[in-house]
Amino acid sequence: MSKGEHINAPATPREIVRAATAVWHQLSEDGHLAGTVTTSAFFAVAGSFPSCSSRPSVTLSFPRLPPVRFYDWLGPRLVVWPAGVVSARRTSIMSSRVGTRKDLKPGWFDALRTAVIRHDQAECLCCVKGTAPADAIIRASELFGARRLRIDVDSDKGASPAELVEWLESTERLQPPESALEDVAYVSPRCRQVSGHQQRDCAETESTPIRDTALVLAGERIVALSCRAGGHVERLLARHLQDEKHEAPVLLAAVSATENDAVSNSLVSLGAVPWLLRRIDAAPLDGRTASSNTGSSQANCQKSLGRSVSDVPLETPEEWLCHWTRPRQGAWIGQPDEEFLDELILGCQTADRSAYAALLRIVEQLQIKASRSVRNAAKTVSFTAVPLGEFRDRRSYRKHKLRFDFEPWGIAVRKSALEKCGCRPVSYVDRNTYDNVSRDERCFQQLRFDAGNRIDWSQEREWRYAGDLDLSQFSSADVFTFVDTHDEATALQAAAPWRVLQLPATTKPA
């Protein structure tokens, strides 16, 4: 392959695809010769595009990555650089999926924050849209002023040369980035008409997503925040470390302190470098103390407040309706997602989204925010007439909601007080009745059975209040907050204007 085979002068998209196709055919026939092509001067191609004042560049690989390795991993693809090739050294941050309760992963965000803060400001962080850490990397880049290279990968199964020309002519990707800290590179679909092409098909499968493949390939240093056993991140890192042509070191923040972490041990044996981080403040980030359900009893708690023990939801359950708080999987209702992400990245205690944290928020705001219980209906606040003392026997995991019902944190309000402000019991109906109810009444309707007739929702004995519920309108005698432990009750009583009830441990599941 000679330097003259590449277009270095301004060229049209058609000329670029023609020249690139010739290179790809040569790579497919005699790929070892391409190993000598290591600098951008040999594989970069400058192009002039319609409706664009700048002169984007088109390459067959990333800077300092031999085209043969790019070709082996991603196949025959073009890389478009709208503002010119970014030559800064690249750090790729990878991770398996974090899960829905991101507030329970403080170590993951500690590692991300540390990696970004320690990042050489002369380099750039790589992130690929659609990968697990992408949103957090972009936000951390903004918080700490780190430059980043956002790589968008077209995951189409393939394109003809004519379709690649159309892809290059599209002006959508030629718009300037939204942030001054961001550069962008666009990876094209794979050219499907290269004869003798030997690309590994696994890169296009769900088991090895093309976006994660591109992220590994782009990095001249790779930081792995999390690596699930049997996951695609583990497979990609193992493949990278076993590739004789690889030069990018792998820093593995997922290494466990135990000797039983088979994934970490395997990757370290292949050459990954373990990176152990330990939190100084090892307090659990779930809003709860380590105290068990011991200490002053509910009766002693009520006696200290000078209240009658008989006037509590456990003794007169028919007079009360209960609202259970549950863990939240993201930002609070009305809170910008970006603000929640900042809390996670900066390690703030306010990132806690446990059921107890949700209860504290209600106490602070004197309000229960409404949510949409029924599709195409008004938002409501839900209560239940199920006796408070029965909740531990009824506690069950709802897989479709990814949470438990009836957890030991919440608020009880006197039924008569709620009825006066418009709270109503839910009507459990069949599908025909539900489909024909008016929009205004739909928020007070509920299908009795789920789609498989496995769950009878009427057992929840639900009541609903339309809109946000202002708790300041109620007398202190008409409201209780209930919690699981004595320490929680003590802490909450200092903030709550109502009585606090510590629930007994009777029938508490193991």
Q: How far is 199 from 72, CA to CA, in rounded Å?
A: 5
CA angle at 59 for the pair 54 and 62, rounded to the nearest 5°:
110
> What is the SS3 assignment for 16-81?
HHHHHHHHHHHHHHHHHHHHHCCCHHHHCEEECCCCCCCCCEEECCCCCCCHHHHHHHHCCCCEEE
Per-residue pLDDT band at 289 (split at 50, 70, 90): very low
Mean pLDDT of 236-245: 90
- Residue 293 has a pLDDT of 38
Bridge partners, residue 183, by sequence? 149
Tokens of 190: 């794979």
Per-residue pLDDT band at 408 (split at 50, 70, 90): confident
> 423 versus 284: which is more confidently predicted?
423
Amino acid letter at 369? K
Tokens of 354: 């446990």
- Residue 126 has a pLDDT of 97
- Residue 370 has a pLDDT of 93
- Residue 509 has a pLDDT of 40
Bridge partners, residue 322, by sequence? 384, 412
pTM: 0.82
Question: Does residue 501 carry a pLDDT above 70?
Answer: yes
- Residue 181 has a pLDDT of 95
- Residue 255 has a pLDDT of 54
Mean pLDDT of 463-471: 96
Asked which of 272-281, 327-336, 370-379 is least confident by mean pLDDT, the reply is 272-281
Per-residue pLDDT band at 305 (split at 50, 70, 90): very low
CA atoms 285, 288, 289, 291: torsion sign: negative
Q: How far is 490 from 153, CA to CA, in rounded Å?
A: 53
Give Cβ neighbours of residue 484 (< 8 Å, ≥ 6 apart): 288, 293, 356, 408, 409, 502, 503
Mean pLDDT of 5-34: 72
Pairing state between β 250-252 and 221-224: parallel
> 462 versus 408: which is more confidently predicted?
462
Residues 423-447 have pLDDT tens digits of: 999 999 998 888 888 877 888 998 8
Strand, coil or helix: 240: helix
Q: How far is 24 from 30, CA to CA, in rounded Å?
A: 10
Q: How far is 475 from 469, CA to CA, in rounded Å?
A: 14
Rg for the chain (alpha carbons), in Å?
29
Residues 87-132 have pLDDT tens digits of: 999 999 999 998 889 999 999 999 999 999 988 888 999 999 889 9
Residues 161-199 have pLDDT tens digits of: 999 999 988 866 667 788 999 999 999 999 987 755 444
Question: Does residue 304 carry a pLDDT above 50?
Answer: no
- Residue 239 has a pLDDT of 93
Amino acid letter at 66? P
Name the packing angle between helices 355-365 and 486-493 (round to 10°).
Answer: 20
- Residue 394 has a pLDDT of 62
CA angle at 94 for the pair 152 and 126, rounded to the nearest 5°:
45
Least Cα distance to 434 among 423, 449, 455, 424 occurs for: 449
Asked which of 137-151, 219-233, 290-304 is least confident by mean pLDDT, the reply is 290-304
Mean pLDDT of 308-312: 57
CA distances from 389 to 214, 317, 369 (A): 54, 8, 25
**Mean pLDDT, all residues of the chain:** 81
Q: Are 503 and 484 in contact (CB under 8 A)?
A: yes
Question: Does residue 412 carry a pLDDT above 90?
Answer: yes
Residues 125-168 have pLDDT tens digits of: 999 988 999 999 999 999 999 999 999 998 767 899 999 999 98
Question: Does residue 319 carry a pLDDT above 70?
Answer: yes
- Residue 199 has a pLDDT of 46
Length of the chain: 510
> What is the SS3 assignment for 290-304?
CCCCCCCCHHHHHHH
